Amino acid sequence: MGRKHSKNAGVMGSEALTYHERRLLGHGTAAERLGKDSIGNYYDCRLTLAPAVDPVCTPKGFLFSREAILENLLEQKKANKRKLAAWEAQQADEARKQADKAAIDAEAALLAFDRQNHMGASEALAQKLKDTINEEAEVLLADKKTASGAINIETNKERMKEMRAFWLPGKAPEAKVILEKPDMSTTCPASGGKLKLKDLTAVRFTPVPGGGPHEYMDPVTKDVFTNASRLVVLKPTGDVVLKETWEKCIKPDGHYGGKEVGEGDVLELQRGGTGFAEHDKDHLQAKKRFLLGPGSGLADLRGQLGGATSKFGLRFNN
């Protein structure tokens, strides 16, 4: 269907919506600029979205509360165990079905051989008998669901025999769900990369003397941290310092707090939000694509999707 309007739009070809009209109906990608508060601060936990309590850091610089990340990793392990148990059960069931089918095939071949050699059945009849037995065996071995409720199983079986409506859920064919062997590794909820408990590094912020509850500073230069600050964590001690402090003061000497600190002992923390595009980059905008509109068919009340009514009858509730 074409989308060009005629020269006299509203008379000929008015059925085709223009790009602007389709955008007003909610079709396409809706984007909205996020503020500083939507991105969070550098000291916020990525799970609770609140100031991190007993903070720990991942190798990629994401900050979490210790209790929150430990609970998350534990739940992931439990979920992986459940998936593995389901996969193992399916594998055992498939092995049982294959063994049963092989036994039935052997019995069918033996019965066909007996009918052909002792009862004078033709080869075609013996083969038909064998195929019939195999088809019935496949039906019996297939997974089927029966009605469940307060009545017993035998009553259900009798009721299922009487149900001849093909559209009933119990009578409809079902696609076989094949499970894949799950990956037992746990992942970081922020980056999606693999994460183990031993990869977490304890983080220690230096509070500003006389400052607010979440005001921290560089323990060397005494500079106060902001969301625009580039911070690094020294793994041997857990202290958080400015990246400039690390490069100019600590790195040349190779020691801090009486412990040796090398290149591999430094983790750069993810920075907080400032509300400026140059700093926040891709984190400053949220996008969502609608193929057929956001659901109601009405224009979005916010953002760039707002507009006037159509000149040929469409109404947009803005």
List, as own/partner pairs, every contact residues 133-139 make where C-beta atoms lie below 8 angstroms and the sequence separation is at least 24, other chains included. Answer: 133/104, 133/107, 133/108, 134/104, 134/105, 134/108, 137/100, 137/101, 137/104, 137/108, 138/101
The 3-state secondary structure of 9-72, one letter per residue: CCCCCCCCCCHHHHHHCCCEEEEEECCHHHHCCCCECCCCCCECCCEEECCCCCEEEHHHHHHH
What is the predicted pLDDT for the residue at 311? Answer: 41
Assess contact for 58 and 318: CB atoms under 8 A.
Answer: no
Give me the pLDDT at residue 33, please: 67
Cα–Cα distance for residue pair 146/159, rounded to 1 Å: 10
The residue ranges of the chain whose pLDDT is under 70 are 1-17, 23, 25-26, 30, 32-38, 120, 137-175, 273-287, 289-318
pLDDT tens-place string over residues 99-108: 887 887 777 7
**pLDDT score for 273:** 67
**Tokens in use for 93?**
């069931």
Contact 314, 21 (CB under 8 A): yes
Beta-carbon contacts of 110 under 8 Å, excluding residues fewer than 6 positions away, are: none
Q: Provide the β-strand partners of residue 202.
A: 56
Helix (H, G, I), strand (E, B) or coil at 187: strand
Task: Quickly count: other Cβ atoms within 10 Å of residue 7's Cβ.
Answer: 7
CA-based max dimension of the chain:
105
Type of residue numbered 1 = M
Please answer whether residues 42 and 55 qualify as being in contact, where contact means their C-beta atoms are separated by less than 8 angstroms. no
Query: CA-to-CA distance for 140 and 209, rounded, in angstroms?
Result: 76
Q: Which of 193, 239, 237 is nearest to 216 (CA)?
A: 239
CA-CA distance, 12 to 261, in Å (whole number)?
76
Distance in angstroms (rounded) separating the CA atoms of residues 43 and 214: 8
With residue 153 as reference, give the H or E element that holds it.
helix 153-162
